[in-house]
């Protein structure tokens, strides 16, 4: 980490704000699982339908748009399904396993796999562009222990950005598929946090645990915030704040404008990683933990503990929202032989329903209308009918 700071100080980069750990406020402590609990309420058991039966694990996030379900798998395939019938509308072959979150934008579907960005016609699956970054693609993000998904791309207008496997940020023109610019990583290595864009700035966490902010107009770093923490889960950005969690049992709230850590909270369980990403309901941030097997609620403004709800197994996927309810797909990451899908009414502090699958789930689920879709390691796409909110 200090080598990166020295490099910046030596003038090898434009002037950039560097936020170190000494600048962080004192972290708060989160209650352990001993404080977990739900109000007494009967929990319904749900049995899903099988919408689609594939032959390869699905680790890309599911995306629903216009009555279609988009996802990729480990067999180098990308699909569009009819949500109502499960019919394969089209299938596209990639050069590597697809383990990222697709983006639907302007009638296009954009996603990256290894060191290549794909741009397809969302209606037909026709390849519009395939842009390969000329890098060694042998080492994948998923080879880094328990980081199961690749870094997702960001899209704005006719430009997309994604992280190559060496950590470089590649800018691609969606109109022609050309590489416009490449930003060399401060610390080379895989990026597992995904790349996000807000108000003309790109954000990602590099392999050394630094939150990086890049101005896409000037193509210069704005700040580096040294979390010194490996981040596997996608960031959640809202109201000018970045929420992200790491392997050190800590979750952070960072000011998106200046890079200052506004608060951080850590778990009493030293084995817990914040590996699943977050969603927000009002002023509460809900995030999944791994070995603590909980859905954690924190005050978005202060980081103070609100609630801890049991998820039975490891929360390695981002929660989904059904109105103000939070849906979790957790899995036993050590065997990938069991998963627990459940919906919480967080306002009433009750679990509405639960389904246990003899299958692994490492793909973030998606809600479309009053249906929930969950993809699995066996290649299944499960379909759950949700209750009225």
List the domains of the chain with CATH numbers.
Answer: 2-385 (2.130.10.10)
Percentage of residues in the chain having pLDDT higher than 90: 67
Which residues fall within 8 angstroms of residue 309, CB to CB, at 6 or more apart? 36, 37, 38, 294, 295, 296, 297, 344, 346, 349, 351
Q: What is the pLDDT of residue 328?
A: 96
Percentage of residues in the chain having pLDDT higher than 70: 89
Mean pLDDT value of segment 198-213: 94
Mean per-residue pLDDT of the chain: 89
Which among 376, 389, 377 is positioned nearest to 48, based on CA atoms?
376
Q: What is the pLDDT of residue 15?
A: 64
Most confident of 3-7, 150-154, 329-333: 329-333
Predicted confidence band of residue 17 (pLDDT cuts 50, 70, 90)? confident
Q: What is the pLDDT of residue 11?
A: 42
Model pTM?
0.92
Higher pLDDT, 248 or 92: 92
Has residue 14 got a pLDDT over 80?
no
Mean pLDDT value of segment 264-275: 80
Higher pLDDT, 4 or 182: 182
Q: What is the pLDDT of residue 16?
A: 86
Has residue 383 got a pLDDT over 70?
yes
Which residues fall within 8 angstroms of residue 43, CB to CB, at 6 or more apart? 350, 351, 352, 353, 354
First to last CA, the chain: 47
Which among 347, 355, 300, 305 is positioned nearest to 326, based on CA atoms?
347
Q: What is the pLDDT of residue 1?
A: 42
Predicted confidence band of residue 40 (pLDDT cuts 50, 70, 90)? confident
Has residue 10 got a pLDDT over 60?
no
Has residue 2 got a pLDDT over 50?
no
Predicted confidence band of residue 235 (pLDDT cuts 50, 70, 90)? very high
Q: What is the pLDDT of residue 133?
A: 84
pLDDT digits (tens, 9 = 90+) for 335-364: 999 999 999 999 999 999 999 999 999 999
Question: Please, what is the Cα angle at 151 between 58 and 289, to 5 degrees?
Answer: 75
Lowest mean pLDDT among 14-28, 59-73, 115-129, 275-289: 14-28
**Alpha-carbon distance 108 to 125, whole Å?**
9
Has residue 3 got a pLDDT over 60?
no
Predicted confidence band of residue 22 (pLDDT cuts 50, 70, 90)? low
Task: Judge contact between 232 and 219, C-beta under 8 A.
Answer: no
Instruction: Tell how far CA 254 is from the center of its chain.
Output: 17
Residues paired with 342 in a beta bridge: 328, 354
Q: What is the pLDDT of residue 331?
A: 94
Has residue 186 got a pLDDT over 80?
yes
Predicted confidence band of residue 119 (pLDDT cuts 50, 70, 90)? very high
Q: What is the pLDDT of residue 35?
A: 57
């Amino acid at each position: 980490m200090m080598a990166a700071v020295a490099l910046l100080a030596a003038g090898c980069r434009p002037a950039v704000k560097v936020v170190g750990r000494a600048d962080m406020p004192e972290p708060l402590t989160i209650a352990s699982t001993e404080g977990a609990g739900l109000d007494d309420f009967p929990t319904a058991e749900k049995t899903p339908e099988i919408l689609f039966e594939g032959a390869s694990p699905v680790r890309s996030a599911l995306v629903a748009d216009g009555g279609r379900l988009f996802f990729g798998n480990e067999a180098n395939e990308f699909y569009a399904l009819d949500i109502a019938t499960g019919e394969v509308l089209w299938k596209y072959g990639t050069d590597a396993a697809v383990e990222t979150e697709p983006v639907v934008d302007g009638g296009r579907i954009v996603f990256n796999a290894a060191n290549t960005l794909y741009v397809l016609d969302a209606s037909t699956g026709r390849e519009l562009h395939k842009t390969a970054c000329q890098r060694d693609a042998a080492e994948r993000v998923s080879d880094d222990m328990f980081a199961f998904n690749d870094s997702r791309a960001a899209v704005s207008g006719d430009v997309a950005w994604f992280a190559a496997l060496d950590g470089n940020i590649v800018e691609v023109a969606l109109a022609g598929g050309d590489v416009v610019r490449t930003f060399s990583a401060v610390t080379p290595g895989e990026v597992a946090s995904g790349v996000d864009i807000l108000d003309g700035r790109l954000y990602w966490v590099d392999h050394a645990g630094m939150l990086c902010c890049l101005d896409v107009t000037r193509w210069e770093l704005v700040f580096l915030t040294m979390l010194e923490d490996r981040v596997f889960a996608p960031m959640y950005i809202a109201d000018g704040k970045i929420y992200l969690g790491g392997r050190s049992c800590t979750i952070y709230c960072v000011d998106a404008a200046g890079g200052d850590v506004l608060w951080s909270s850590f778990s009493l369980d030293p084995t817990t990683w914040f590996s699943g990403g977050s969603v927000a309901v009002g002023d509460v941030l809900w995030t999944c933990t791994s070995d603590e097997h909980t859905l954690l609620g924190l005050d978005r403004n202060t980081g103070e503990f609100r609630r801890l709800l049991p998820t039975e197994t490891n929360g390695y996927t981002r929660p989904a929202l059904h109105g103000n309810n939070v849906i979790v797909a957790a899995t036993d990451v050590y065997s990938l032989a069991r998963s627990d899908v459940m919906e919480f009414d967080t306002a009433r502090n009750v679990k509405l329903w639960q389904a246990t699958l003899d299958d692994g789930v490492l793909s973030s689920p998606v809600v479309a209308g009053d249906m929930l879709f969950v993809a699995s390691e066996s290649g299944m796409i499960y379909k759950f009918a949700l209750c009225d909110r």
